[in-house]
Amino acid sequence: MLDIIEIQKILPHRYPLLLVDRVDSMEIGKDIVAYKNISISEPAFQGHFPGHPIYPGVMILEGMAQAGGILALKSAGFTPEEIEQKVIYFMSIDNAKFRHPVKPGDKLEYRITILKLRKNLIVLDGKAFVDDKLVSEAELKAMIMDK
């Protein structure tokens, strides 16, 4: 399990674009389960949509990508010092689907599985759930680069 302090040592993102609150489980080289609590105070809700708040799909995909980034950096065998000098660039997001709306008060759970891993390249199967109901899915491809 990783808390927000440990996550910030891995990911360069900060508010309002740090979209992983905690990692519940991670098997290096295999998968990760992480989550974000969706609050009405999210900046995206100011305009998406007033009076009918729906968490934007692009933010769900970004959260999946960030959880996948944690998994990729931890699985690539880098030391903590090396991780600080790396960044993940997402190359493609394929077959993205949005199954159900995500609303304030939801706990958005990211379940990410590695499909392919090389030293600097990773392909991930990303799924997002609310209350064990699939809300979004996509295949994510990323490259680990030096900062």
Residue type, position 84, single letter: E
Which residues on adjacent β-strands are paired with residue 70? none
The structure tokens listed for 137 are: 């899915």
8 Å CB contact between 108 and 130 = yes
First to last CA, the chain: 26
Q: Which of 13, 48, 52, 100 is catalytic?
A: 48
48 is catalytic: yes
Q: What are phi and psi of 3, to 5 degrees?
A: -90, 180
CA distance 144 to 29: 15
Strands 31-37 and 86-98: unpaired
Question: Among all residues, which ones are annotated catalytic?
Answer: 48
